[in-house]
Structures are given as C-alpha cells and as structure tokens.
Structure 1
Amino acid sequence: MDIRRQRRGRSGFTLVELVLATTIAMLLLGALYVAVDMQLRFAQNSRDLVEESTLARAILARIDSDASQVVGLSDPGRFRIAAGADALSDPTATTAAAATTAPATGAATAGTTTGTATSAASTSTTESGTSTNIVLPLGVQGDSETLHLYVSRVPRELYLNNNSDSPLVVSDLRRVSYWLVGGADSPVGLARQEIAIVTSDDALQNLPPGIDSEGSFLIAEEVRSLSFQYFDGTNWQDNWDSTTPGADGVTPIGSPRAVAVTVGVARPGANGNVKVYRHVIAISSANGTTQQAQAQSSSGGGATP
C-alpha cells in the first residue's frame, strides 16, 4: 500500500500580519510616548507654578514685613499746638496790638519767640515762625511705581560688628524703597534699597529710581510689572506723601490706611506669560480718621450747637 506523505508548509506570518503587528506596536509606543510627554510637561508646569507662586508670596511677604514697621507721627497734635503759637506771633496781630498799647506789643513779641522755638522742636521754620518741612519721621511716600517706607527696626549692624573698636553710626530708623528697574517699558526686575543712616543725603534726597548702580539692588529679576495704590480711608490714591497737611491745614495726614501692591511675575520658560498678584497691606501706624463737627441748624431757626 502506498502511503502518501502530506507535505506540511512551514509555520510563519504573512506579510499582512507583519504589517498589522508593526502598526499596532507603533501606535502603542506612540501613545506611551505621548502619555509620558504629557506627564513630564504637567510636572514641569506644576513646578514652575509652585516656583512662581512661592516667589510672589516671598516678595509680598517682604514688602508686608517692611510696611508693618512703618513709623507714624508720634503725637500729631503738636503740629496744631505749634500752629496756634505761630498764630499768636502773626505780624498783623502784633502791629494791631502795638497801635493800642505798649504792653501789648511786648506780649506779642514774647509770643513770637515762643512760637518759633516750639515749631523748631518738631519742624524746620522760616523767619516768621511758620512751619515748613517735616524732617522725621516721614512715614510713607511714593507714587504708582515707587514706594518709600520709613521704618523702625533693631539695627543688625550692632551684632555683626560688636567686636569692633570704632562704634558704627547706625540708627533704628531706616528708609526702604521698592521700585521696578527699567520701568514698565523695559523691565529688568524688582529692586529694594535700604538706607541705614536715615538722616543722610542718600536717604532724604537721592531717592530711586534713577540712582547709581540700580542693578545691585535687584532682588527678583522675574518681576515684570509693579504698581502701588494708597487707601486714604475712602478712596484709592495713586500718590501719597505722609507730610501733606490734612483737612485742618496743619496736621500731616500721616501714613495711608492701607497700601495695595500689584506684582506681575513671569513664569520660568513661559515666553512672556506673566501672572499678576495683588496684595493689600494694612498700615497699623496710620492716623485715625479726623472727626469734623459740622454746623447743623434746627428747623425752627434755633442756635447752632
């Protein structure tokens, strides 16, 4: 009997199967690559966001710490007392008194001397005895782009140089300034300057911006915008000067009730993407709201209280 041997073909994959398997493998690898890439990008964005928010929080916390140490006017009533003494020494009043009696002239002259001495104890005076400029403390000064704070803090220089033979000339009063180097058109970063000797020319006259070596005062190059606003108790103002006379024309307005700081921080590698943060700082040393009595007449035409 003849036995027919059946030939078996070699087992393998056809070309279609190979192409299909390769395509599926490429799709799986591509999906895996996209998933890993998205995970890495999300992780990097999260790290950048944390770094950005941490920087903004540190900047605002530092400004808040300096603003909490602002020195207010001690006994603002002394300016009204000095103004009252100056009113007694008014030349017009002296002339009128001289035309009446000779003793009155002597009293007016004595008032002139007293008024000048009282005013000189707190402010600089003119020849007529009228108060002109407040020397110290100056409180808060600034505009929408610059902030100057006159603060009181323990001088750290005393601890750093306690073994020195020659004592340092330091003070607890400091001027701390914040501004944006380069301005809004070409910002370079946030700068901070602290002047230890507050009575020096640098502290009172050479105010930033536009000072020498501004780059040495940079503390955050990521800052791209900076603005300040000052709350007077009713409205927000773009400028503030604590030495400006108040409603009575004599007492300085002092520090604002609050300062709003708006900072724009560029995220690392974000190609100009800027996140804006706003923080309102309460000034505890601000003067209280002045209560002014207004004349009210009764409906029956009675006397004004």
Structure 2
Amino acid sequence: MLRGTASVRPRSGFTLVEVLLALGLTAVLMLAVSGAITLYARTLLAGRERTEQSQVVRAVLRLIELDLRSVTFAAPPEASEEEAGGQAADEGFADEEVLESQEMSIQVQQPSDGLQSSSTGIVGDATQLVLHLSRPLRAETAAAAGNAGAFGAVSASAAPVEPGSDLRSVAWFLAAQGAGGLAGAAADQALSSGLVEDVSGSGVLGLARLDGDRLVMQSADATGDLQALATRSRVLAPEVVSLGFRYFDGQEWFDVWNSVELGRLPLAVEVTVGLASGGNPASQQDAFSAAANTSTVSSENSQTWRLVVPLAQAERPLLETGL
C-alpha cells in the first residue's frame, strides 16, 4: 500500500538585512519622538518663563506708575516784583546756559537723600527715585500691606506700614550687597530675613521699594538711622537686575531731576526695568506689544522693558511762538 507523501514547504522568515533595516527605522522613529518631546518641553518652559516675566514686569511697572501718578508738589511762592528787582540789581542777570547747566548738575547720591526735602515732588537720578506722594490708606489695607512680602507673599519680617498719615515718602532702587547707604542696608536686611538670595553672585538682590510715613522717614533720615529705613524697605522683584529713570521737561530728557531746585515736576518719567533671562531672549516675544507707551529690548543675557508715565499734575511749559 503506497502512502502519499505531503510536500513540506519551508517556513518564510525575515532576512538579516530586513531585521537590521527594521531596527534602524525603529531607532530613527524613537529619536524623532524623543526630539519632539524635548522640543515641546523647552517650548513649554520658555512660555512659562515669558508668562512669569510678564506678570512680574506688569506688577512692577503698574506699582511705579501708581506712585508717580500720586505725587504731590507745592510750587515755592514767587518773589514780589520789588524783591525780584532788588535781587536782580544786586546780583545781575546770569547767562541762561549757565543757569541750565547748574540746574542739571543736581546729584542724588542715595535714595534717602531726597527724604529730607522740605518740599514735595520728585527727586531722583538715573538709577534711583524718591517720591513724595499723597495716598490715603485704610486701616485694613495698611495692615495687609504690612504683613505682605514680595507681591503679596506673607512674611513676618515684611516692612510695616503706618496708616496715620496720607503723606508718604516712597523710594525705588536696586538692593545690592556692598553698596553704601540705603541700598546696602536694604540688601543686608533682606538677606538676614531669608526672603531673597544672591543666586547670580553679582550682589544685586533685586528691585526694592521703601514706603513709609513722610515724617517718620524724615526723622529716621535726619538721625542717620539706616536700619529703620531698611526695615521699611522690601525687595519686591529679585528677578530685576537693572533699573533706570529719565525725566522729560517738555523739550528733552534728563538723567537727574530735583523738583525742589527746578520748581516743578517733569512732564513724564521714563522707567526702564531689566530682567535676567535664562532662555534665548531673541526668540521671546514682547509681553507688552499691545501697549503704545511700553516697549521691550532684548540683550544677550537680559530683557529690558520701558514704560513712559505722563504726569497730569505737572505744569506745562509755555511754548514760544514766533509772529
């Protein structure tokens, strides 16, 4: 009896070349997925950094703008015609260019120097600003401000706020280690309280604000009590690495202004704030592109925001028109 023999077909499989090709394509696909995830993470972190910077800058510039718009100024009384005539006869008329150069030679060595001013207004230079303003504070608002740290963070060592008077003295400056006067005292106070740290190693701890009752500030400054002034100072934004001010008189910009010497307020104040950037500033968008009077400039390691604040309470200069 003959048995039929079934033919056995060889089992098909992948060749070595096909296996190597599949492994190569899989590796390329995994690298592409990994790169996409890394790019997404970097984009997410960059967007979060831009958002945080925008919030910090918006809060800082808003607070500075509110302080500038609350400035009060009382012009000194004008001399009578007889006194003016007698003084002109005794001293003579000085050249106009000499007077302008003398007026613009005002220097403010420390922010606390402007606290002793007997008049109200603005005293400042290119890096620091002292304002005398009127802002009524309710008791609950003052208590909340006294217990708040940087941008609302509760802190036991935050600067106390006296609600007794609406006349206040405010100073804006950069707290820096090793600096003289109030800037150094405020930096030491912030470091000892543990609120901020010198992460960059440059000594600049960030943007600081001094706020207190005007009479209390004058008394502390007259006695040279820097510790009392530093206690009322707060480092609001450790991210800020540069601060600048300029003052517009109606014709040109100046780096120094003293309302006591000049007898008036500037028409506008330009505020420049620089923040350290961990990413690529050139690829970051302007956080305030919608604002007409606010702009940003990118540098290699920082971004700079600029805000121009017009002062409605300033006296407009008389423009000379030819016939």
After TM superposition, the score normalised by the length of structure 1 is 0.66
1:170, distance to aligned residue in structure 2 (A): 2.0
* 8 Å CA contact retained: 1:191, 1:214: no
Separation in 2 of the partners of 1:84 and 1:45?
65
* 8 Å CA contact retained: 2:169, 2:212: yes
Matches within 5 A, 1:45-64: 45-64=46-65
SS at match of 1:79: coil
Matches within 5 A, 1:34-49: 34-49=35-50
1:170 equivalent in structure 2: 164
SS at match of 2:169: strand
* 8 Å CA contact retained: 1:197, 1:203: no
1:302 equivalent in structure 2: none
Separation in 2 of the partners of 1:172 and 1:70?
12
SS at match of 1:228: strand
2:204 equivalent in structure 1: 187
* 8 Å CA contact retained: 1:260, 1:279: yes
1:71 equivalent in structure 2: 72
Alignment counterpart, residue 119 of structure 2, candidates 136, 149, 166: 136
1:23 equivalent in structure 2: 24
2:243 equivalent in structure 1: 226
Letter in 2 for 1:29: M
* 8 Å CA contact retained: 1:170, 1:197: no
SS at match of 2:12: coil
Letter in 2 for 1:201: Q
1:107-129 C-alpha deviation (Å, 9 max, x unpaired):
xxxxxxxxxxxxxxxxxxxxxxx
1:238 equivalent in structure 2: 255
Separation in 1 of the partners of 2:10 and 2:172?
86
1:242, distance to aligned residue in structure 2 (A): 0.2
* 8 Å CA contact retained: 1:141, 1:242: yes
Alignment counterpart, residue 80 of structure 1, candidates 78, 81, 97: 78
After TM superposition, the score normalised by the length of structure 2 is 0.62
Separation in 1 of the partners of 2:16 and 2:166?
87
Aligned residues: 237
Separation in 2 of the partners of 1:152 and 1:144?
24
1:97 equivalent in structure 2: none
SS at match of 2:307: strand
1:150 equivalent in structure 2: 132
2:153 equivalent in structure 1: none
* 8 Å CA contact retained: 1:181, 1:209: no
Separation in 2 of the partners of 1:72 and 1:286?
9
Distance 1:212 1:72, change over 3 A: closer
1:115 equivalent in structure 2: none
Larger Rg: 1
Distance 1:11 1:227, change over 3 A: same
Separation in 2 of the partners of 1:205 and 1:62?
27
Separation in 2 of the partners of 1:199 and 1:88?
40
SS at match of 2:261: coil
Distance 1:186 1:291, change over 3 A: same
Matched, 1:262 2:272: yes
Separation in 2 of the partners of 1:215 and 1:11?
84
* 8 Å CA contact retained: 1:71, 1:150: yes
